[in-house]
Protein backbone atom coordinates (compact mmCIF):
# COMPACT_ATOMS: atom_id res chain seq x y z
CA UNK A 1 0.00 0.00 0.00
CA UNK A 2 1.29 3.47 -0.71
CA UNK A 3 -0.09 6.62 0.83
CA UNK A 4 -0.25 10.37 0.41
CA UNK A 5 -1.13 11.33 4.01
CA UNK A 6 -4.84 11.68 3.10
CA UNK A 7 -5.83 8.45 4.77
CA UNK A 8 -7.75 8.66 8.04
CA UNK A 9 -5.41 8.43 11.02
CA UNK A 10 -5.96 6.04 13.92
CA UNK A 11 -6.94 8.08 16.97
CA UNK A 12 -8.50 5.86 19.62
CA UNK A 13 -7.80 2.23 20.47
CA UNK A 14 -11.02 0.45 21.47
CA UNK A 15 -10.07 -3.21 22.06
CA UNK A 16 -8.19 -6.21 20.70
CA UNK A 17 -10.20 -8.68 18.61
CA UNK A 18 -9.71 -12.40 18.37
CA UNK A 19 -7.97 -13.74 15.25
CA UNK A 20 -4.63 -15.00 13.99
CA UNK A 21 -3.69 -11.61 12.53
CA UNK A 22 -4.22 -9.99 15.98
CA UNK A 23 -6.61 -7.32 14.68
CA UNK A 24 -7.84 -4.44 16.83
CA UNK A 25 -10.95 -2.29 16.85
CA UNK A 26 -10.06 1.41 16.68
CA UNK A 27 -11.57 4.78 15.84
CA UNK A 28 -10.03 6.88 13.07
CA UNK A 29 -9.97 10.62 12.30
CA UNK A 30 -12.99 10.26 9.95
CA UNK A 31 -15.10 9.39 13.00
CA UNK A 32 -15.60 5.73 11.97
CA UNK A 33 -14.67 2.52 13.74
CA UNK A 34 -12.47 0.04 11.92
CA UNK A 35 -11.26 -3.53 12.33
CA UNK A 36 -7.55 -2.85 11.82
CA UNK A 37 -4.86 -5.25 10.59
CA UNK A 38 -1.22 -4.21 10.77
CA UNK A 39 1.45 -4.59 8.08
CA UNK A 40 3.69 -6.63 10.39
CA UNK A 41 0.97 -8.95 11.73
CA UNK A 42 2.30 -12.51 12.11
CA UNK A 43 0.24 -14.31 9.42
CA UNK A 44 2.29 -13.35 6.36
CA UNK A 45 3.46 -10.52 4.12
CA UNK A 46 0.58 -10.76 1.60
CA UNK A 47 -2.22 -10.36 4.13
CA UNK A 48 -3.02 -6.68 3.61
CA UNK A 49 -2.90 -7.04 -0.19
CA UNK A 50 -5.21 -10.06 0.02
CA UNK A 51 -7.63 -8.23 2.32
CA UNK A 52 -7.91 -5.17 0.12
CA UNK A 53 -7.93 -6.81 -3.33
CA UNK A 54 -10.08 -9.71 -2.10
CA UNK A 55 -12.64 -7.27 -0.69
CA UNK A 56 -12.63 -5.33 -4.00
CA UNK A 57 -13.12 -8.57 -5.96
CA UNK A 58 -16.10 -9.45 -3.80
CA UNK A 59 -17.54 -5.95 -4.19
CA UNK A 60 -17.21 -6.14 -7.99
CA UNK A 61 -19.05 -9.49 -7.87
CA UNK A 62 -21.94 -7.66 -6.10
CA UNK A 63 -21.38 -9.53 -2.85
CA UNK A 64 -21.87 -7.71 0.44
CA UNK A 65 -18.58 -6.66 2.04
CA UNK A 66 -17.68 -3.97 4.59
CA UNK A 67 -16.17 -0.80 3.13
CA UNK A 68 -12.40 -0.76 3.57
CA UNK A 69 -9.72 1.96 3.64
CA UNK A 70 -6.00 2.23 4.08
CA UNK A 71 -5.49 3.88 7.47
CA UNK A 72 -2.44 5.64 8.88
CA UNK A 73 -0.94 4.54 12.15
CA UNK A 74 1.40 7.02 13.82
CA UNK A 75 4.30 6.67 16.24
CA UNK A 76 2.31 8.44 18.94
CA UNK A 77 -0.65 6.02 18.56
CA UNK A 78 1.73 3.08 18.89
CA UNK A 79 3.45 4.55 21.98
CA UNK A 80 0.24 5.55 23.73
CA UNK A 81 -1.58 2.22 23.08
CA UNK A 82 0.67 -0.62 24.08
CA UNK A 83 -2.40 -2.87 24.40
CA UNK A 84 -2.48 -3.07 20.61
CA UNK A 85 1.09 -4.41 20.32
CA UNK A 86 1.56 -7.72 18.56
CA UNK A 87 2.27 -10.83 20.57
CA UNK A 88 5.28 -12.78 19.22
CA UNK A 89 7.26 -15.76 20.57
CA UNK A 90 9.91 -13.21 21.67
CA UNK A 91 7.52 -10.88 23.48
CA UNK A 92 5.44 -7.89 22.38
CA UNK A 93 6.29 -5.98 19.21
CA UNK A 94 4.95 -2.54 18.19
CA UNK A 95 2.72 -2.39 15.10
CA UNK A 96 4.54 -1.01 12.08
CA UNK A 97 3.76 2.69 11.60
CA UNK A 98 2.57 3.98 8.22
CA UNK A 99 -0.31 2.31 6.45
CA UNK A 100 -2.51 -0.49 7.70
CA UNK A 101 -5.77 -2.10 6.54
CA UNK A 102 -9.10 -0.93 7.94
CA UNK A 103 -12.38 -2.77 7.47
CA UNK A 104 -15.27 -0.53 8.43
CA UNK A 105 -16.92 -2.00 11.53
CA UNK A 106 -20.45 -3.08 10.66
CA UNK A 107 -22.17 -2.84 14.03
CA UNK A 108 -24.31 0.16 15.01
CA UNK A 109 -27.15 1.02 17.36
CA UNK A 110 -29.64 -0.35 14.83
CA UNK A 111 -27.65 -3.32 13.56
CA UNK A 112 -26.84 -6.33 15.73
CA UNK A 113 -23.99 -8.53 14.60
CA UNK A 114 -23.73 -12.31 14.82
CA UNK A 115 -20.94 -14.65 13.79
CA UNK A 116 -23.05 -17.81 14.07
CA UNK A 117 -26.75 -18.46 13.64
CA UNK A 118 -29.06 -21.30 14.59
CA UNK A 119 -30.43 -23.61 11.88
CA UNK A 120 -33.66 -21.57 11.80
CA UNK A 121 -31.63 -18.36 11.78
CA UNK A 122 -29.98 -19.34 8.47
CA UNK A 123 -33.42 -19.52 6.87
CA UNK A 124 -33.84 -15.82 7.63
CA UNK A 125 -30.67 -14.75 5.83
CA UNK A 126 -31.71 -12.67 2.82
CA UNK A 127 -28.64 -13.36 0.70
CA UNK A 128 -28.10 -17.10 1.23
CA UNK A 129 -27.62 -17.67 -2.51
CA UNK A 130 -24.59 -15.35 -2.36
CA UNK A 131 -22.80 -17.97 -0.28
CA UNK A 132 -22.73 -20.26 -3.34
CA UNK A 133 -21.24 -17.45 -5.44
CA UNK A 134 -18.72 -16.72 -2.67
CA UNK A 135 -17.67 -20.38 -2.63
CA UNK A 136 -17.15 -20.38 -6.40
CA UNK A 137 -15.21 -17.11 -6.28
CA UNK A 138 -13.07 -18.38 -3.40
CA UNK A 139 -12.20 -21.60 -5.22
CA UNK A 140 -11.17 -19.61 -8.32
CA UNK A 141 -9.16 -17.17 -6.18
CA UNK A 142 -7.30 -19.92 -4.24
CA UNK A 143 -8.87 -19.06 -0.88
CA UNK A 144 -7.07 -21.29 1.61
CA UNK A 145 -9.30 -20.80 4.67
CA UNK A 146 -12.97 -21.29 5.57
CA UNK A 147 -15.27 -18.60 4.28
CA UNK A 148 -16.10 -16.15 7.05
CA UNK A 149 -19.09 -13.84 7.29
CA UNK A 150 -20.85 -11.76 9.92
CA UNK A 151 -24.63 -11.55 9.96
CA UNK A 152 -26.20 -8.13 10.40
CA UNK A 153 -29.72 -8.22 11.82
CA UNK A 154 -32.03 -5.41 10.75
CA UNK A 155 -35.06 -4.10 12.63
CA UNK A 156 -37.30 -6.60 10.76
CA UNK A 157 -35.37 -9.49 12.35
CA UNK A 158 -33.91 -10.68 9.03
CA UNK A 159 -30.17 -11.05 8.45
CA UNK A 160 -27.74 -10.03 5.77
CA UNK A 161 -24.46 -11.93 5.53
CA UNK A 162 -21.43 -9.68 4.99
CA UNK A 163 -18.26 -11.39 3.83
CA UNK A 164 -15.18 -10.63 5.93
CA UNK A 165 -11.59 -11.83 6.26
CA UNK A 166 -10.21 -12.13 2.73
CA UNK A 167 -6.65 -12.42 4.07
CA UNK A 168 -6.33 -16.07 3.05
CA UNK A 169 -7.31 -15.59 -0.59
CA UNK A 170 -4.75 -15.82 -3.42
CA UNK A 171 -2.90 -18.76 -1.88
CA UNK A 172 -2.91 -17.40 1.69
CA UNK A 173 -0.93 -14.67 3.46
CA UNK A 174 2.33 -16.36 2.49
CA UNK A 175 1.09 -17.23 -0.99
CA UNK A 176 2.07 -20.89 -0.79
CA UNK A 177 -1.30 -22.67 -0.63
CA UNK A 178 -2.88 -24.58 -3.52
CA UNK A 179 -6.42 -24.38 -4.81
CA UNK A 180 -8.95 -26.34 -2.76
CA UNK A 181 -12.64 -26.98 -3.37
CA UNK A 182 -13.55 -27.82 0.21
CA UNK A 183 -11.40 -25.39 2.23
CA UNK A 184 -13.23 -22.15 1.33
CA UNK A 185 -16.72 -23.44 2.17
CA UNK A 186 -18.64 -21.77 5.00
CA UNK A 187 -18.23 -24.10 7.98
CA UNK A 188 -21.93 -24.51 8.77
CA UNK A 189 -23.28 -25.92 5.51
CA UNK A 190 -26.86 -25.10 6.56
CA UNK A 191 -26.23 -21.62 5.15
CA UNK A 192 -26.35 -22.99 1.61
CA UNK A 193 -29.87 -23.10 0.17
CA UNK A 194 -30.58 -26.27 -1.75
CA UNK A 195 -30.06 -25.85 -5.44
CA UNK A 196 -33.16 -26.29 -7.56
CA UNK A 197 -32.04 -28.94 -10.03
CA UNK A 198 -35.53 -29.33 -11.55
CA UNK A 199 -35.02 -27.08 -14.62
CA UNK A 200 -31.66 -28.73 -15.19
CA UNK A 201 -33.19 -32.21 -14.91
CA UNK A 202 -36.05 -31.30 -17.29
CA UNK A 203 -33.50 -29.96 -19.72
CA UNK A 204 -31.33 -33.03 -19.50
CA UNK A 205 -34.46 -35.29 -19.81
CA UNK A 206 -35.50 -33.43 -22.95
CA UNK A 207 -32.02 -33.80 -24.38
CA UNK A 208 -31.90 -37.53 -23.61
CA UNK A 209 -35.44 -38.07 -24.95
CA UNK A 210 -34.57 -36.13 -28.10
CA UNK A 211 -31.33 -37.99 -28.38
CA UNK A 212 -33.12 -41.34 -27.86
CA UNK A 213 -35.67 -40.53 -30.58
CA UNK A 214 -32.95 -39.37 -32.95
CA UNK A 215 -30.90 -42.45 -32.12
CA UNK A 216 -33.88 -44.77 -32.81
CA UNK A 217 -34.62 -42.89 -36.06
CA UNK A 218 -31.03 -42.99 -37.14
CA UNK A 219 -30.97 -46.76 -36.53
CA UNK A 220 -34.13 -47.14 -38.66
CA UNK A 221 -32.64 -44.84 -41.29
CA UNK A 222 -29.44 -46.75 -40.98
CA UNK A 223 -31.28 -49.97 -41.78
CA UNK A 224 -32.99 -48.25 -44.72
CA UNK A 225 -29.71 -46.77 -45.86
CA UNK A 226 -27.99 -50.08 -45.54
CA UNK A 227 -30.73 -51.77 -47.57
CA UNK A 228 -30.94 -48.99 -50.15
CA UNK A 229 -27.21 -48.65 -50.50
CA UNK A 230 -26.60 -52.28 -50.05
CA UNK A 231 -23.23 -51.72 -48.59
CA UNK A 232 -21.85 -52.95 -45.31
CA UNK A 233 -21.94 -50.40 -42.49
CA UNK A 234 -19.93 -51.47 -39.50
N1 LIG B 1 -15.91 -5.30 9.18
C2 LIG B 1 -16.19 -5.95 10.31
N3 LIG B 1 -17.26 -5.58 11.05
C4 LIG B 1 -17.53 -6.21 12.21
N5 LIG B 1 -16.80 -7.20 12.75
C6 LIG B 1 -15.72 -7.60 12.05
C7 LIG B 1 -15.36 -7.01 10.79
N8 LIG B 1 -14.23 -7.61 10.34
C9 LIG B 1 -13.92 -8.53 11.25
N10 LIG B 1 -14.79 -8.53 12.28
C11 LIG B 1 -14.72 -9.32 13.52
O12 LIG B 1 -13.38 -9.43 13.90
C13 LIG B 1 -13.01 -10.80 14.06
C14 LIG B 1 -11.61 -10.99 13.53
O15 LIG B 1 -11.56 -10.66 12.17
P16 LIG B 1 -10.86 -11.61 11.09
O17 LIG B 1 -11.50 -12.93 11.07
O18 LIG B 1 -10.81 -10.84 9.81
O19 LIG B 1 -9.41 -11.71 11.75
P20 LIG B 1 -8.27 -12.75 11.42
O21 LIG B 1 -7.12 -12.40 12.27
O22 LIG B 1 -8.04 -12.76 9.98
O23 LIG B 1 -8.86 -14.10 11.88
P24 LIG B 1 -8.38 -15.57 11.45
O25 LIG B 1 -7.85 -16.16 12.70
O26 LIG B 1 -9.68 -16.16 11.02
O27 LIG B 1 -7.39 -15.46 10.35
C28 LIG B 1 -14.06 -11.59 13.29
O29 LIG B 1 -14.28 -12.82 13.88
C30 LIG B 1 -15.28 -10.70 13.38
O31 LIG B 1 -15.97 -10.98 14.56
MG1 LIG C 1 -10.79 -14.73 10.52
| Predicted TM-score (pTM) of this structure | 0.84
Q: Tell me which residue range forms the domain holding 53.
A: 10-191
Q: Which of 20, 71, 107, 164 to mutate to test the pocket of ligand 1 (most atoms within 8 A of CB)?
A: 164
Distance between CA atoms of residues 177 and 209, nearest Å: 45
Is the pLDDT reported for residue 2 higher than 80? no
55: Cβ below 6 Å to ligand 1?
no
Is residue 64 classed as helix, strand or coil in its secondary structure? coil
Nearest-angstrom CA–CA distance, 209 and 215: 10
Q: Dump pLDDT digits (tens) for 18-28.
A: 999 999 999 99
Residue 178 lies in a domain: yes
Let me know if residue 106 belongs to a domain.
Answer: yes
Instruction: Establish if 84 belongs to a structural domain.
Output: yes
Helix, strand, coil percent values for the chain (each to nearest 5): 30, 25, 45
In a domain, 224, yes or no: no
Domain count, the chain: 1
B/e letters for 138-150, b = 16+ CB within 10 Å, e = fewer, are bbebbbbbebbbb
Pocket test for ligand 1, best of 165, 173, 186 (most atoms within 8 A of CB): 165
For 55-73, the pLDDT digits (tens) are 999 999 999 999 999 999 9
> Does 226 score more than 80 pLDDT?
no
Q: Is residue 184 included in any domain, yes or no? A: yes
pLDDT-above-70 percentage for the chain: 84
Residue 203 counted as domain residue: no
Is 222 domain-assigned?
no
Nearest residue by C-alpha to atom 5 in ligand 1: 105
**E-assigned strand segments in 116-226:** 148-153, 159-164
Q: Is 98 left (phi over 0), alpha (psi -120 to 50) or beta?
A: left
Amino acid sequence: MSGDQKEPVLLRFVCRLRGGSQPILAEASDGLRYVVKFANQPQGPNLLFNESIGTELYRRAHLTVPAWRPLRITESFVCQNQSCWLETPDGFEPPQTGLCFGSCHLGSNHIRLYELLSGRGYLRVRNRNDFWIAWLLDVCAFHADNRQAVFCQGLDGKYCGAFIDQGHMFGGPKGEKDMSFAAPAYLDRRIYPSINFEPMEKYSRSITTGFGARHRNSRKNGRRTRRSLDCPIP
